Amino acid sequence: MSARAEAIDFTLSPPDNERLANLCGQFDENLRQVERRLGVEIENRGHRFRILGDDPAVSRAGDVIRALYATTAQETVGSESVHLQLRHAEAEAQFDAVPTPAVDDAPVAPDEVSIQTRKGLVRGRGPNQRDYLAAIRQTDLSFGIGPAGTGKTYLAVASAVEALQSEQVQRLVLVRPAVEAGERLGFLPGDLAQKVDPYLRPLYDALFEMLGFERVNKLIERNVIEVAPLAYMRGRTLNGAFIILDEAQNTTVEQMKMFLTRLGFGSTAVVTGDVTQIDLPPGKTSGLRDAVDILRDVDGVSFTFFNAHDVVRHDLVQRIVRAYDRREDDPPPR
């Protein structure tokens, strides 16, 4: 450990031994995770904590510990919870903002969008996610564009489920392009539904987490939720629906235009994608790239662009995204 430039002391309140054990984790693993990430040393006797290290790391560590303790009132704190709270603290520091923990019982700002799910409160972690949730609520067509792990699809599905539960819409339509819908798809076993299922699995996973396996299946049986490949949208008009097009970077220009013109009365559409991961055949222009150029100034259409700072997966994912971004900005000589 480097020289200790600062030490802070605080007491967690209200005192609760079960919540304290939840916070610390088995063999204090949650505290060790904070130490490793921020380069600090954490000592505690019961609910009294001391954090030693370099400024401003000790201040951020204190904010993280308090936020995690608040979270213990409603959920079990695990490695993922610690990771997300650390990411939130780092994102706030990047944007020179005062840290405000994004946890279930933290106060919600009057203009901040929050969504209640069966697993807890979903809120934006960082400015871009907060802007994205607000844009989805305020505009009929929203685009979320950025690298993997930034919450584009998860937040869109959460917004869709909220709209369905509050009866703002009558059905959900979740769509993905099956980029190998030609001869390769034909060699997969099963009928057509089984062939396209692997492409739609991430959308199912998000729905299961939001609503539970049994309820999702019942809503699918009643056609309240439809998860389908993009080709199934042709010729349809979708009224009173919340529509999500995921992995939109793999649409062609013609497919994107087709999808966007499916929007009917009382409907909301969200388009998500990562323009750095296009799987279209050579010579095909991405419909997502094209839509950004064409629709950027159209009234009623919003765009949220995510970057590596918004990644909420494993730390390594953030470093991978940054490495690829650097390579694109400064390509190696041929």
Judge if 189 and 285 occupy the same domain: yes
The answer to whether the peptide bond before residue 14 is cis (omega within 30 degrees of 0) is yes
Judge if 150 and 277 occupy the same domain: yes
Judge if 175 and 274 occupy the same domain: yes
Judge if 32 and 134 occupy the same domain: no
Judge if 49 and 161 occupy the same domain: no
For residue 101, is it within any domain?
no
For residue 107, is it within any domain?
no
Judge if 150 and 280 occupy the same domain: yes
Give the domain-ending residue among 63, 94, 125: 94
Give the domain-ending residue among 64, 94, 124: 94
DSSP character at residue 38? H
CATH for 201:
3.40.50.300
CATH for 90:
3.30.1370.10
For residue 14, is it within any domain?
yes
The answer to whether the peptide bond before residue 177 is cis (omega within 30 degrees of 0) is no
Instruction: Return the axis-axis angle of helices 152-165 and 192-211, rounded to nearest 10°.
Output: 70
Give the domain-ending residue among 94, 123, 138: 94
Q: How far is CA 290 from CA 81, 255, 284, 286, in A?
A: 37, 11, 11, 6
pLDDT of residue 89: 72
For residue 131, is it within any domain?
yes
For residue 289, is it within any domain?
yes
pLDDT of residue 104: 43
Judge if 142 and 44 occupy the same domain: no
For residue 22, is it within any domain?
yes
> CB-based contacts of 86: which residues, under 8 Å, 6+ apart?
33, 34, 37, 38, 64
Expressed as residue numbers, the domain containing 178 is: 114-329
Judge if 139 and 52 occupy the same domain: no
For residue 240, is it within any domain?
yes
Burial 252-280 (b: 16+ CB within 10 A, else e): bbebbebbbebbeeebbbbbbbbeeebee
Judge if 306 and 160 occupy the same domain: yes
For residue 323, is it within any domain?
yes
* Sheet containing strand 41-45, strands side by side: 6-11, 48-53, 41-45
Judge if 132 and 29 occupy the same domain: no
- Could you tell me how far CA 245 lies from the centroid of its own chain? 15
Judge if 73 and 127 occupy the same domain: no
What CA dihedral angle connects 53, 59, 65 and 71, to 10 degrees? -160
**Total structural domains in the chain?**
2
Judge if 152 and 196 occupy the same domain: yes
Give me the tens of pLDDT residue by residue for the chain, a chain 334 residues long: 444 568 899 999 999 999 999 999 988 999 999 998 888 999 999 999 999 998 788 989 999 999 999 988 888 888 877 877 887 776 555 543 333 334 344 444 545 677 776 666 777 777 888 899 999 999 999 999 998 888 899 899 999 999 999 899 999 999 988 765 343 445 555 555 555 566 677 788 888 888 888 999 999 999 999 988 888 898 899 999 999 999 999 999 999 999 999 999 999 999 999 998 888 888 899 999 999 999 988 999 999 999 877 776 666 666 776 777 676 666 665 5
At 231 the three-state DSSP class reads helix
